[in-house]
């Protein structure tokens, strides 16, 4: 049993710290504004005690954050002021209270010049160089995790809950460390795809990742007049396509600065500045530039008028906007990060204020409004028609097909046979560049009319045979339980972006003898692809999520081709993503629907 912390009302006293109000509430901890002797501080309380029920290791994370912060002393890094245990036994950490704006808010309120932005980033690079020299990585650098203090304008890096040092225990069991997808370097996604089947594979986070994240932050400040606004943006970490140069999106960006950002965002980590000290020097050199283009606001204030409050229902809605904010949690966005679409499936919308819309083929992908039949949607890739390739080189859309060296000139793979005449193969207006790309890449490339809906398909004979003869499954005749996306918890209700790659897994707790025999716990459904049917169902759901897996790895057996489909009602649909349960049953099929 876990002890879920109840929200503490103001007036509560934790070990002598008087709670004034809650500042943030994330997956691992809750942060409160507290006072002692009349001085404000931020108190970060772990969600759980150090007990076996602490699956997210919230206790260990807070302790590790404390340990890391105690080794750091830098004017641009938040300072720890104490720690202890609440009466409930939950560990807490007390930090300097930074009364300030997040970098994004600062950008919108202060209309900074390139010079002022550079001045902030020189300090950030200096703080990072200091940390890195001690072997510490922040691992969740983003606009929300840098505050500009109101009193003196100094930037302060906060939220070290994802941070690690050379000797730290890795608190994430597998895959990528916690963080925010938008600011992840592209090599992290390449790693994930390359190790989809290796349960324990763990990405080794590096300084180059940190430089990419800082580059992404700088890019956002330079190209986006309203970085705090929640909307679809160009993905910055597509495995092949780099974002447009900052100067192309915003001509006010000085050329040399644009070039430096471009190198920070390089697809190839070895082409980024080699370390943060080098980066600091390069930024400092630009800071010396007396050019007039450095002394004008990078966006005219008129473009930065405070936007209307975000419309309700936006999946990425975070904390209230437009208010000066103090220390807050990176994990606030835990759920939202899912929706800030994983790099490879992010939709590329040209920023509204881009003065020079890029030429094709980088046209904006139009998001599908909820509940609107997707008539304009066209098939880019007939995924549902055939299983994804089991070997590189096959035509198809498996994650493995998205390789770094995929040429955008590649011809479209030959269309596998269709079960029924459908809407498939009717994409005459697609630019060639889009036709050759797997769905995922096409989405990220901003190809128009990308496939969201599943196509009818007939399961290839080889997969039917494998299901029948090797796996002894009753095709079209039985269901198996699974956690749909093994990166998320069984109890979660995540957002599933259309086109996302997922791996399903049969959870523990299955008792059905037949299920245990032919698809026991630990059975992994591979090559899963998410589709969306954004039409209201007769039961009133706003749509359906369909996931098709094309391979299976039953413990003790070889990986085999299958056609396994999960079809779930969606709780909510937003653009090209749907919220649904992460647990359900699916079935081996000979055809679909």
Partner 1 sequence: MLLGYVDEKGVRRGAVRPAKDDALGLESGQGSSYRGATWALVDVVIVNSAGQQPWTPREAIFRGKRGATLPARVVTVGNGEIAPGASLRVLAVADTLPASVGEVFALEVRGSGGRSLVIPGVRFTEGDQ
Instruction: Give me the residues that bind partner 1 (CB under 8 A), please.
Output: 1, 479, 481, 491, 508-513, 515, 537, 539, 544, 566-569, 581, 583-585, 593
| H-type alpha helices, 227-355 | 246-249, 255-264, 276-287, 334-339
Cβ within 8 Å of residue 534, ≥6 positions away: 368, 369, 370, 371, 372, 373, 374, 452, 542, 543, 573, 578
Pick the closer one to partner 1 by CB: 2 or 425: 2
We find the least distance from the C-beta atom of residue 569 to partner 1, in angstroms, to be 6
Would you say 401 or 459 has its CB closer to partner 1?
459
The 10 Å CB-count burial string (b at 16+, else e) for 253-279 is: bbebbbbbbbebbbbebeebbebbbeb
The token duo for 178 is 């916690």
Strand order in the sheet with 91-96: 13-14, 17-25, 29-36, 39-46, 91-96, 80-85
Q: Which of 214, 217, 224, 220 is nearest to 272 (CA)?
A: 214
Q: Which is nearer to partner 1, 192 or 578 (CB)?
A: 578
Inter-residue contact 526 to 539 (CB < 8 Å): no
Cβ proximity to partner 1, 167 vs 538, nearer residue: 538
Q: What are phi and psi of 30, to 5 degrees?
A: -115, 135
**Cα–Cα separations (whole angstroms), residue 487 to 162, 174, 196, 579:** 17, 9, 11, 15
Taking the least distance from each CB to partner 1, the nearer of 429 and 511 is 511
* Six token digits for residue 63: 């302790």
CB of 437 or CB of 563, closer to partner 1 = 563
Radius of gyration of the chain, Cα coordinates, nearest whole angstrom: 25
Nearer to partner 1, 5 or 298 (CB): 5
Q: How far is the CB of 512 from partner 1 (least distance, A)?
A: 5
**Of the two residues 95 and 484, which places its CB atom closer to partner 1 in the complex?**
484
CB-based contact 228:321 (threshold 8 Å): yes
Kindly state the smallest distance separating residue 502's Cβ from partner 1, in Å.
17
8-state DSSP, 267: S
Report, in Å, the least distance between residue 140 CB and partner 1: 29
b/e 501-524 (16+ beta carbons within 10 angstroms → b) = bbbbbbeeebeeeebeebbeeebb
Peptide bond into 57 cis (omega under 30): no
Q: How far is the CB of 163 from partner 1 (least distance, A)?
A: 30
The nearer residue to partner 1, 287 or 510, going by C-beta atoms, is 510
Compare residues 14 and 568 and give the one whose CB is closer to partner 1. Answer: 568
584 - beta bridge partners? 482
- Please state the closest distance from residue 2 (CB atom) to partner 1, in A: 8
- Smallest gap from Cβ 133 to partner 1, in A, equals 44
Which residue blocks in 369-494 are alpha helix, DSSP H?
A: 432-435, 439-444, 461-465
């Amino acid at each position: 049993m876990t002890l879920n912390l109840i929200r503490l009302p103001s007036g509560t006293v934790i070990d002598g710290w008087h709670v004034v109000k809650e500042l943030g509430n994330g997956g691992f901890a809750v942060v409160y504004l507290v006072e002692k002797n009349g001085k404000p501080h931020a108190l970060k309380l772990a969600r759980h005690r150090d007990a076996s029920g602490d699956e997210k290791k919230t206790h260990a994370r807070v302790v590790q954050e404390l340990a890391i912060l105690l080794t750091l002393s830098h004017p641009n890094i938040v300072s720890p002021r104490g720690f202890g245990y609440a009466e409930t036994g939950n560990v807490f950490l007390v930090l300097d209270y930074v009364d300030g704006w997040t970098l994004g808010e600062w950008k919108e309120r202060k209309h900074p010049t390139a010079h002022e932005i550079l001045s902030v980033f020189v300090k950030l690079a200096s703080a990072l160089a200091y940390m890195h020299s001690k072997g510490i990585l922040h691992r969740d650098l983003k606009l929300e995790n840098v505050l500009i203090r109101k009193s003196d304008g100094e930037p302060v890096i906060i939220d070290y809950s994802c941070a690690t040092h050379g000797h730290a225990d890795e608190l994430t069991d597998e895959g990528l460390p916690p963080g925010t997808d938008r600011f992840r370097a592209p090599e992290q996604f390449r790693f994930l795809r390359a190790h989809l089947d290796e349960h324990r594979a763990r990405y080794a986070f590096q300084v180059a990742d940190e430089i990419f994240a800082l580059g992404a932050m700088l890019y956002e400040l330079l190209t986006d007049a309203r970085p705090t606004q929640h909307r679809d943006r160009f993905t910055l970490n597509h495995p092949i396509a780099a974002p447009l140069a900052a100067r192309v999106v915003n001509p006010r960006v000085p050329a040399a600065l644009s070039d430096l950002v471009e190198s920070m965002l390089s697809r190839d980590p070895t082409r980024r500045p080699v370390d943060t000290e080098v980066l600091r020097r390069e930024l400092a050199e630009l800071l010396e530039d007396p050019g007039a283009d450095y002394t004008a606001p990078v966006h005219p204030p008129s473009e930065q008028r405070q936007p209307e409050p975000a419309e309700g229902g936006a999946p990425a809605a975070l904390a209230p906007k437009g208010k000066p904010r103090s220390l807050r949690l990176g994990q606030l966005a835990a759920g939202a990060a899912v929706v800030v679409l994983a790099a490879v499936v992010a939709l590329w919308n040209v920023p509204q204020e881009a003065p020079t819309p890029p030429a094709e083929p980088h046209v904006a992908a139009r998001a599908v409004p909820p509940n609107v039949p997707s008539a304009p949607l066209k098939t880019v890739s007939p995924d549902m028609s055939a299983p994804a390739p089991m070997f590189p080189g096959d035509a198809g859309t498996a994650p493995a097909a998205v390789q770094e060296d995929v040429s955008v000139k590649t011809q479209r793979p030959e269309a596998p046979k269709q079960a029924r005449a459908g809407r498939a193969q009717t994409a005459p207006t697609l630019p060639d560049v889009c036709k050759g790309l797997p769905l995922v890449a096409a989405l990220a490339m901003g190809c128009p009319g990308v496939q969201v809906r599943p196509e009818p398909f007939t399961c290839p004979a080889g997969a039917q045979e494998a299901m029948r003869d090797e796996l002894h499954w009753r095709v079209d005749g039985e269901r198996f339980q699974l956690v749909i996306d093994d990166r998320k918890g069984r109890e979660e209700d995540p957002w599933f972006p259309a086109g996302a790659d997922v791996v399903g897994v049969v959870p523990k707790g299955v008792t059905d003898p037949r299920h245990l025999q032919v698809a026991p716990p630990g059975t992994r459904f591979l090559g899963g692809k998410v589709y969306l049917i954004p039409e209201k169902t007769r039961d009133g759901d706003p749509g359906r999520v369909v996931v098709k897996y094309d391979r299976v790895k039953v413990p003790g057996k070889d990986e085999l081709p299958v056609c396994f489909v999960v079809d779930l009602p969606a709780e909510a649909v937003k653009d090209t993503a749907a919220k649904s349960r992460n647990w359900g049953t699916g079935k081996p099929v000979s055809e679909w629907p």
